[in-house]
Structure 1
Amino acid sequence: MSELIADVRLVRMSDPAAAPLLSGLSLEYTSRYGVNDELTRYAEAEFEPPHGAFLIVVSDGETVAGGAFRRHDATTAELKRVWTHPRHRRSGLGRLVVRELEREARDRGYRRVCLTTGPRQPEAVRLYLASGYDPRFDLADRPTRGPLGFVKELA
């Protein structure tokens, strides 16, 4: 596979270039969990400066990955909506998105990042563990219910 040349862009969630990410996430959540309100749980304004950010990764004019963060508390950002297009998974884009979100959060004064994922998203669990996140659940227990929390101190 050739190396993907990608451009990381900060955008508003309503930007048309963010639509593939949001529709991809909706399909993921619905296929794995059934009815899911995750994408409507937070107002778009929570993912905008100064307390939040929404970024996409574009390659050859196509949105191939992205993610966002919102303010959790005064020193903690919460990662949300991390996604990679199925054709581009296992190519490092997820790690790129997480790194860029962490950098942006650090630049905005956050010292810690938290997030949750679901038990039917083992690839997300692997991504966060590989990215240095500490699980807030027993990995050996292999939970099948509830959100799986992670946290990471930013250097």
Structure 2
Amino acid sequence: MTAPELTVIQVPLSDPRVRPLLRELGDEYSARYGKDAHAELARYPDEEFTAPHGGALLLLLERGEPVAGGAFRRYDAITAELKRIWTHSAHRRRGLARRIVAELEREAGRRGYRRICLTTGPRQPEARALYLAGGYTPLFDTEVDPETIGPLPFEKHLERSPR
């Protein structure tokens, strides 16, 4: 059996295919942290994830259905901030989040960003492992209990691509 073809598309936050992403992500964050996370996910307006503001929201589609997604927004003139990295619960452990992060990095680089920043929560060890494996530098002491730190910040400097 061959693996299904995956398609990456860029969509606005208002695209109906984004709703399941944000709903499941909000439910998962709410379960992990014990408070409703849906308002936090709705905190940034659509414009922060669309040009010309410098952001992007990408969905990875399999047979036309979203299986993973993520976004970035402008943090400053040279830095994009990754947000909303998500893989549908039925499609995890396939490297889809790694693919989304790589696609977001490429798109950020195409738009002139030279640095990526992000934070993840202390109760998301799989996200922490994803960023460490992807070459992100932790901006916190990795030997300390994450619960005592709070949000875990990371950064990665993008390589300059030849024009």
TM-score tier, shorter chain, comes to: over 0.9
- CA 133–4 in structure 1, closer or farther in 2 if over 3 Å, else same: farther
Which residue pairs with 2:121 in the alignment? 118
Equivalent positions of 1:19-58 (< 5 A) are 19-33=19-33, 34-36=35-37, 37-50=39-52, 51-58=54-61
The Cα of 1:3 is off from its aligned counterpart by 2.4
DSSP 3-state at the match of 2:47: helix
> Equivalent residue of 1:99, what SS?
helix
**Structural mapping, 1:44-123, within 5 Å:** 44-50=46-52, 51-123=54-126
State the distance in 1 between where 2:40 and 2:79 align.
20
Take 2:86 and 2:2, find their aligned partners in 1: how far apart are those partners? 21
Deviation digits for residues 64-97 of structure 1 (CA, Å, limit 9, x no counterpart):
0000000000000000000001121110101100
Runs of 4+ more than 4 Å apart = none
1:143 Cα deviation from its structure 2 partner:
1.4
CA distance in 2, matches of 1:45, 1:83: 20
What is the CA distance between 1:104 and its match in structure 2?
0.3
Which blocks of at least 5 consecutive residues in structure 1 are unaligned? Answer: none
SS of equivalent residue, structure 1 residue 141: coil
Superposed displacement of residue 121, structure 1:
0.5
Higher Cα Rg, which structure: 2
RMSD: 1.3
Identity, in percent, stands at: 58
Structure 2 equivalent of residue 9 of structure 1: 9
Rounded Cα–Cα distance in structure 2 between residues aligned with 1:13 and 1:133: 26
Q: Quote how far apart the aligned CAs of 1:2 are.
A: 5.2
- Which residue does the alignment assign to 1:135? 138
Displacement of 1:40 after TM fit?
1.9
Point out where structure 2 has 5 or more consecutive residues left out of the alignment.
none
Using the size of structure 2 for normalisation, the TM-score is: 0.91
